[in-house]
Structure 1
Amino acid sequence: MEIKQRNRDVIAGSGYVAPTNANPLYEGFGVYDIGSTEAVHEFCSQVEASPSQSFLQETLVKYSEAVHELAMDIGRKLCQSMGLDMDLFKGWPCQFRINKYNFTPESVGSSGVQIHTDSGFLTILQDDDTVGGLEVLDEKSGAFVAVDPLPGSLLVNFGDTAKAWSNGRFCNVHHRVQCKEAAVRISIALFVLGPKEAAVEAPPELVDASTPPL
């Protein structure tokens, strides 16, 4: 626990998150900002990855660079699809989280993480290849739908910032994690948060008489 707590917050919730009364089965590590190689090396230093474990740093750096570039490419393609000439996510911080769910026989049927929407713009999730539990809310029916593991895939969803920026064209997705079996479940997420300084507002092209600003 002493070593885990060295993974300190840069912003609230960006470092180590211990189990809580609300989410007793969950804990996770974080890196802010994953677009910075220095931040990745600092994380490895915090958790005492020794020089003999250089593969850990190399893997984290390669993975973070690849998924960060994917996020930037998605941002560019979103703008192109809406007829906007802009590099949407340029300069935005991206938070990286490694999530662990300690599911036990006693916890089957309970919640791993409460119902929520992500606060950022975009989430790219590498889900556990074998242990399910992720569910998304169907807004029309009010029912939760299981998102079964699909090995080799990444799952992408919008958060609150995307709904605000797009003036309601993008939908923030309510989701949760349920304990389906007694097993350790691991997922890795990148969160494109939002601009560091500027306010989030819809581009003028997305606001008109028929779609006034939310």
Structure 2
Amino acid sequence: MAATLPIIDLQELQQSSSSSGKLREACEHWGCFRLINHGVPVSLMSEMKKVVGELFDLPIPVKRRNVDVLSGSGYIALSSMNPLYEAFGLYDIGSTAAVHEFCDQLGASPHHRETILKYAEATHGVAMTVAAKMAESSGVLASDGAGLFEDWACQFRINKYHFRPETVGSAGVQIHTDSGFLTVLQEDETVGGLEVMDPSDSGYIPVDPVPGTFLMNLGDLATVWSNGKLRNVKHRVECKEAAVRISIATFMLGPPRYTVVEPPAAFVDGGRPRLYRPISYEEFRVMRQITDKQAGEALELLQGPAQPLSTKFDVNSLPADVLAQIQDID
């Protein structure tokens, strides 16, 4: 019998501490879970998908206006090297000004802008609330983690997969882990393809779409932050049918640039010394890309006495073709 993902009720989690153990187990064992009763109206989720579809219908020259000063954001077009998906991106939906700039770039209508702003605020709130509950369920004291995630960037990425008959059976996205802390994913309601690793046997199980819910994935930074206690989930996207698949992802990345990530005291003691050296999210994301270690193996590079490249490493000094690839896709 196939394993099923844990289901976490956010409303219940906020009202009672009795659900904390279930959340902790999901984060430690699976590294992912289905989130229900999250407070984001289903009508807003549905409207956002409609808006996304209309944005992807814009002329290519307009879509190419979606650029950002930081890597991993901005429009990615279909190409011979990237024939299956295109994507829009925005570095931090926590910045209202940045969301307005995104809308300006694409000439968003007043309705599109209103929908995008509401959705960005809502999913940013979900990410922050769930991250705080993850910390609380793991024993991080308020004094140790108060305001911990408040200034962490939340990258916004909208993906459109163009699955064709000849691509059925192939990989839409290879096996990988997300580089950041936590991902809030709105899946396509009708077209599946996402698969996550089953921790019991290292096989992959399909994640069937469930309308009105979010899939929450923990990334590499959650493992670093928790000193190895929280699991980073490996996942992939398989082309199951010839159809268009749209996903909307909010990636909670990490603290501001060059701020190093270290585990709170709750995760370190005499019986559990530090597993990873301090590193900034910016450096870690670049390190993953230039070493081509995209499925969690980059964490091994943080073990032992090795020193980081530089806490002042400038990601924008990399070649443009490398910058275009430093991102998370689901």
- TM-score, reference length from structure 1: 0.93
Structure 2: distance between partners of 1:207 and 1:23? 42
Match of 1:26 among 85, 102, 105: 85
CA contact (8 A) 1:15 1:29 kept: yes
Q: 1:213 aligns with which of 274, 286, 292?
A: 274
User: What's 1:54 paired with?
Assistant: 110
Counterpart of 2:214?
A: 154
Match runs of 1:106-117 below 5 Å: 106-117=166-177
Q: Say which SS state the counterpart of residue 57 (structure 1) adopts.
A: helix
Q: CA deviation at 1:105?
A: 1.0
Contact 1:23 / 1:114 at 8 angstroms: preserved in 2?
no
Q: Note the C-alpha offset of 1:23.
A: 4.3
2:178 pairs with 1:118? yes
d(CA) in 1 for partners of 2:83, 2:227:
36
Q: 1:108-155 CA deviation, whole Å, 9 max, x = no partner? A: 111111111100000000000000000011244231110011111100
- SS of aligned partner of 1:2: helix
In 1: Cα distance, 2:70 partner to 2:190 partner: 32
CA deviation digits over 1:66-115, x for unaligned, max 9? 11111111122122212321233111111001110001111111111111
Q: Which has the higher contact order (CA 8 A, sep 6+)?
A: 1
**Structure 1 or 2: more helix by fraction:** 2
Q: Partners of 2:69 and 2:223 in 1: how far apart?
A: 25
C-alpha change, 1:20 and 1:162, in structure 2 (3 Å) is farther
Match of 1:6 in 2: 65
Looking at structure 2, the residues matched to 21 and 116 of structure 1 have their Cα atoms a distance apart, in angstroms, of 22
Matched, 1:65 2:121: yes
Return structure 1 stretches of 4+ with deviation > 3 angstroms.
19-23
Any gaps of 5 or more consecutive residues in structure 2?
Answer: 1-59, 276-330
What is residue 99 of structure 2 aligned with on the other side?
Answer: 40
Give the Å deviation of 1:205. Answer: 2.2
Question: Which of the numbers 201, 204, 212 marks the counterpart of 1:144?
Answer: 204
- Equivalence for 1:98: 158
Quote the residue 1:74 is aligned against. 130
Alignment partner of 2:64: what SS?
helix
Which amino acid is 2:252 matched to?
V
CA–CA distance in 2 between the matches of 1:201 and 1:105?
46
- Give the TM-score normalised by structure 2: 0.62
2:188 aligned residue: 128
| Contact kept? 1:79, 1:88, Cα under 8 Å | no
Cα RMSD of the aligned pairs, angstroms, is 1.4
